Amino acid sequence: MLTSKQRAYLRSLAVDIDTIVMVGKSGLGPELTKQADDALTARELIKGKVLETAPVSSREAADQIAEEVKADVVQVIGSKFVLYRRNEKEPKIILPKSGKK
């Protein structure tokens, strides 16, 4: 679970990354889930977009993909969403520490 500070940090990093996952009229299939899973393993932070022809909303797509690949939804704005999953073997993004003690 991400804290608000970590979520804000990830949002700032997501501004500059390209959209890699596109949800189209075929919806959310196993190929799309595999693509998101591979991208998260390689990058940890990915941006996706839901096209107007898609049968799901951007919130539904983000939640479903995140659940299937065990990632966190960082944000959903309009038709775009950002997902994060830490790579346990080779972490690339160092999150700010949570404020809890």
> Residue 9 is part of a domain; what is its CATH number?
3.30.110.60
98 belongs to a structural domain: no
Site of tokens 């520490």:
97
| pLDDT digit string, tens, across residues 31-62 | 999 999 999 999 999 999 999 999 999 999 99
Residue 40 belongs to domain spanning:
4-84
17 belongs to a structural domain: yes
10 belongs to a structural domain: yes
57 belongs to a structural domain: yes
CA distance 96 to 92: 13
33 belongs to a structural domain: yes
Q: Report the number of distinct structural domains present in the chain.
A: 1
Percentage of the chain modeled with pLDDT above 90? 84
CB contact set of 11 (below 8 Å; sequence gap of 6+): 74, 75, 82
